[in-house]
Amino acid sequence: MDAPANPVALRAEPVRDDALLRATRRRALLSRLLAHGALILGVLIVAFPIYMTLVGSTHDAGTIGRGDVPLVPGAHTVENYATAWNEGGGRSQTTPASTMLVNSLIMAVAIALGKIAISILSAYAVVFFSFPGRMLAFWAIFITLMLPVEVRIIPTFQVIVDLNLGNTWPGLVIPLIASATATLLFRQFFLTIPDEFVEAAKIDGAGPVRFLRDVVLPLSLTNIAALFVILFIYGWNQYLWPLLIINDRSMETIVVGLSKMIGRGDAQNEWNTIMATAVLALLPPVLVVALMQRWFVRGLTETEK
């Protein structure tokens, strides 16, 4: 081994560039401060409208109408929520929030479960069988990906009128159930189920229906859960379709009902009740996301790929 060329130089005290070191530390600190600052600001912007809504739901209509909403909660929480829950608010609108919440819940759950059910069945048929017209059926479903309900809203509405389904639950739910995305997701997943499973099922004498129930459905449970979160939110947040289909006050959903309450957005509105209703309208889907965050993120990033 070579001896160090200059042992003295090696042992000499190393040069330290203090200015550079300080600049480096400053940059690292700044980067962290920037990140924290930006994220805190982001969280505040996200949270502020909700906070003010919460605050608004705790004051009386007069305080808000005068334009004196303070930044801290008031003392009218119970009565505001009680009014919203039992009577509803707004001068032209009196459906109680409790009724609208139940309606929204029925709609969201029916859409989510309906979409999942028909998507599993059709994906199962397309993946596990070979029959004439298989590809045609697949493409017929696939192409609907390109037609969001808003685009074909008027003719679809006419179809509902022709079928006499206006103001009915089936009329509200069924047109929103067909979903190419869910079908594609399940198809993708079914294609990854190993052939050995199918062979084993056949050797055990299990038919296609039994295989679906005993093997495919249990394997799909996490996918179903993830998809349910996404579809529940999708269903809960529907606006244009219920607005067109439902005239019956007793079937009003809370998202549509809330927007009807604000009318032209006048200062004389019963803002306290409106804000309480807004809190009730956003609480269920937000809770679903908060409680099922892991599934939600997974469901979202996987369905949209």
11-50 footprint of other proteins as x/- string (CB under 8 A): -x-xxxx--xx--xx-x---xx-xxx-xxx-xx-xxxxxx
Residues between 144 and 163 with contacts to other proteins, criterion CB under 8 A? 144-148, 150-159, 163
Is 67 near other proteins (CB under 8 A)?
yes
Residues between 271 and 290 with contacts to other proteins, criterion CB under 8 A? 271, 274-275, 278, 281-282, 285-286, 288-290
Is 303 near other proteins (CB under 8 A)?
no
Residues between 238 and 277 with contacts to other proteins, criterion CB under 8 A? 239-240, 243-244, 255-256, 258-259, 262, 264-265, 267, 269, 271, 274-275
Please identify which residue in the block is written with the tokens 């809960």. 236
Task: Write the burial class of residue 125 (CB in 10 Å: 0-12 exposed, 13-18 middle, 19+ buried).
Answer: middle
Separation in Å, CA 256 to CA 123, 233, 253, 266: 33, 15, 6, 18
Is 215 near other proteins (CB under 8 A)?
no
Q: Which is nearer to other proteins, 207 or 218 (CB)?
A: 207
Is 172 near other proteins (CB under 8 A)?
no
**Cα atoms in the 13 Å half-sphere on the side-chain side of 262:** 11
> In the set 105, 106, 113, 137, which binds other proteins (CB under 8 A)?
137
Is 217 near other proteins (CB under 8 A)?
no
Phi, psi of 208 (to 5 degrees): -60, -35
Q: How many residues contact other proteins, by CB under 8 A? A: 122
Residues between 74 and 113 with contacts to other proteins, criterion CB under 8 A? none
Q: Are 246 and 167 in contact (CB under 8 A)?
A: yes
The letter for the amino acid at 68 is D
User: Residue 280: how many CB atoms within 10 A of its CB?
Assistant: 20
Tokens of 20: 């550079």
